[in-house]
Amino acid sequence: MPHDATPSPGPILSVSQLRKHYGKTAAVDGVSFSVATHEILGLLGPNGAGKTTTINMILGVLEPTSGMIAIDGCDLARRRRQALSRTNFAAVYAPLPGNLTVAQNLRVFGMLYAIPALGERIEAVLAEFDLLRFRNTKCGVLSSGEQTRVALAKALLNQPRLLLLDEPTASLDPSIAREIRAAIREFAARGHAGVLWTSHNMIEVSEVCHRVLFLSHGRILLEGDPRALPGEHRRQSLEDLFVAVAREPLTIRSAEAD
């Protein structure tokens, strides 16, 4: 079902005291944050920090043990269909079906989202991502950069309020990655939407994200401007800070408490 065109006045995404336990193990342990309109928020942390689990709960793939997720004012637990209709997702490790053409893939996903005037919308995203010449090409034979553009075209097909991106430029050459970053920045700047972005590329994060959260062992360890955070914690770069979070989270947490 297409979402209501009237935007919510509050945050695009609101996560409150989110927890996911597997037995006695807490994969996500009391995480709270929000994404504002026009904001690109970086969700950072080493492998096993809880990033993917958090994203999967926001996408409705995993059910939280406790906590609340609201997307554009819709409580995911109580209004799942409406909340997810306002969301979309792209990741390089989740390619579209390779035996379908670009146009066929967009039509299938457009039908799932019940997008009105679907043919016109498909033409618009094909043009936006320079995919018109690949309309009838099977996705499985496209290059990695072309497949990424198709995945982003699919992710923007329903003009989501919340766009989730997990390593969107991994394995892309610098020129294609630059184009993708520009497209995402433009998407966030226009309309009524926000972006949650995960990446291990700290140079990219510093360039793209307005704010970042560092997760460690399922909890938010640090939050702030990616350009200012390293200096605040006596590190030369965001990459140095990432390494410190991965290797010395207790040291970082102690310094934050002082």
Map residue 84 onto helix, strand or coil: helix
Query: What pTM value is reported for the model?
Result: 0.89
Residue-wise pLDDT tens digits, 148-196: 899 999 999 999 999 999 988 887 888 888 888 998 999 999 888 999 9
Question: What ranges do the domains of the chain cover?
Answer: 13-86+162-257, 96-159
* pLDDT attached to residue 4: 38
Mean pLDDT of all residues in 45-50: 90
User: Distance between CA atoms of 69 and 60, rounded to whole angstroms?
Assistant: 10
Phi, psi of 91 (to 5 degrees): -155, 145
Map residue 235 onto helix, strand or coil: coil
Above pLDDT 70, what percent of the chain?
Answer: 93
Are 52 and 20 in contact by the 8 Å Cβ rule? The answer is no
The residue among 148 and 104 whose pLDDT is bigger is 104
Q: Which residues lie closer than 8 Å to 243 by C-beta, 6 or more apart?
A: none
CATH homologous superfamily for the domain 13-86+162-257: P-loop containing nucleotide triphosphate hydrolases (3.40.50.300)
| Side-by-side strand order, sheet with 162-166 | 87-91, 162-166, 194-198, 40-44, 211-216, 219-224
Mean pLDDT of all residues in 199-225: 94
